[in-house]
Amino acid sequence: MSGVDFTRVDGLGVLTVQIILCEVGLDPSRFPTVKHFTSWLGAMSLAVALLVARLKVLKLAQ
């Protein structure tokens, strides 16, 4: 365990924390700084947004 209750952060619910931990794991050493982590997190959000937009376009094309 990490010893930190991430759900205490405003805006992070249990499901969101579980998803982040599944993607990142409990070893944060792959991110040298907080800036690296937030950059990765932003890139993942952008990737999801682009995927959702693409799926909407494909649905409209049917």
DSSP 35-61: HHHHHHHHHHHHHHHHHHHHHHHHHHH
Q: What's the pLDDT tens digit per position in 5-52?
A: 888 888 888 988 888 888 888 887 888 988 888 888 888 777 777 888
**Alpha-carbon gap, residue 30 to 26, rounded angstroms:** 10
Q: Is the pLDDT of residue 1 over 60?
A: no
Residue 59 has pLDDT above 70, yes or no: yes
Task: Kindly give, in sequence order, each residue whose CB lies less than 8 Å from that of residue 44, ignoring residues fewer than 6 positions away.
Answer: 23
Residue 23 and residue 40: Cα distance in Å, rounded?
Answer: 11
Cα 7 to Cα 47: distance, rounded to the nearest angstrom: 24
